[in-house]
Amino acid sequence: GKPAKVAITAIMRKLVVLANALIRDDRKWAPHIP
């Protein structure tokens, strides 16, 4: 396998999950939301 690719995928997934959780909780954490 490719450890680097796996690590990047894990980080991306964690960021996506975090973003979805914040949006679900209706938290305005981004500096600008259109």
Q: Tens digit of pLDDT for each residue in 1-34?
A: 789 999 999 999 999 998 888 788 776 666 665 6
pTM > 0.85: no
pLDDT of residue 27: 67
pLDDT of residue 2: 85
pLDDT of residue 6: 94
Q: Which residues of 1-34 are buried (b: 16+ CB within 10 A; e: fewer)?
A: eeeeeeeeeeeeeeeeeeeeeeeeeeeeeeeeee
pLDDT of residue 8: 94
Structure tokens at 3: 């450890």
CA dihedral 7, 29, 19, 5 (to 10 degrees): -20
pLDDT of residue 18: 87
